[in-house]
Amino acid sequence: QVQLVESGGGLVQPGGSLRLSCAASGGRFTIRTMAWYRQAPGKQRELVALQASGGSTNYADFVKGRFTISRDNARNTVYLQMNSLKPEDTAVYYCNALIVRWGTVSPSNVWGQGTQVTVSS
């Protein structure tokens, strides 16, 4: 069973920075895309940033220029560097990965447990 474990959330003041990490483990697999989503109270989960296995990235408009997604393929880990944080960035941030287990052809959509990010003075 492939698992995603996130870390790095917490409380930060407006204008501050945080770095989230998400590591995939559990068996042998190939990761196609890794992404970060977030969900604020009372709102739907939304895509923050995505990185494909080839390195191309996609960002939500509300984080462009402030957040950076990166991957360490050797460690099956994805990062989200968040700078210039705003109170409206407060949410639970979820890691997501599209994974193909060795010996199979169908990809699986895997989610982490989420990590809380709170931006407040």
- Rounded to whole angstroms, the Cα distance separating 69 from 83 reads 12
Question: What is the pLDDT confidence band of residue 39, given thresholds at 50, 70 and 90?
Answer: very high
pLDDT at 31: 93
What the block records as the tokens of 89 is 């960035």
Question: What is the pLDDT confidence band of residue 1, given thresholds at 50, 70 and 90?
Answer: confident
pLDDT (tens digit per residue) in 20-35: 999 999 989 999 999 9
Are 2 and 26 contacting, i.e. CB atoms less than 8 angstroms apart?
Answer: yes
pLDDT at 27: 86
Question: What is the pLDDT confidence band of residue 56, given thresholds at 50, 70 and 90?
Answer: very high
Rg (CA), the chain: 14
pLDDT at 60: 97
pLDDT at 76: 93
pLDDT (tens digit per residue) in 105-121: 899 999 999 999 999 99
Average pLDDT over residues 1-28: 95
Average pLDDT over residues 9-20: 98
- Find how far residue 17's CA is from the centre of its chain: 15
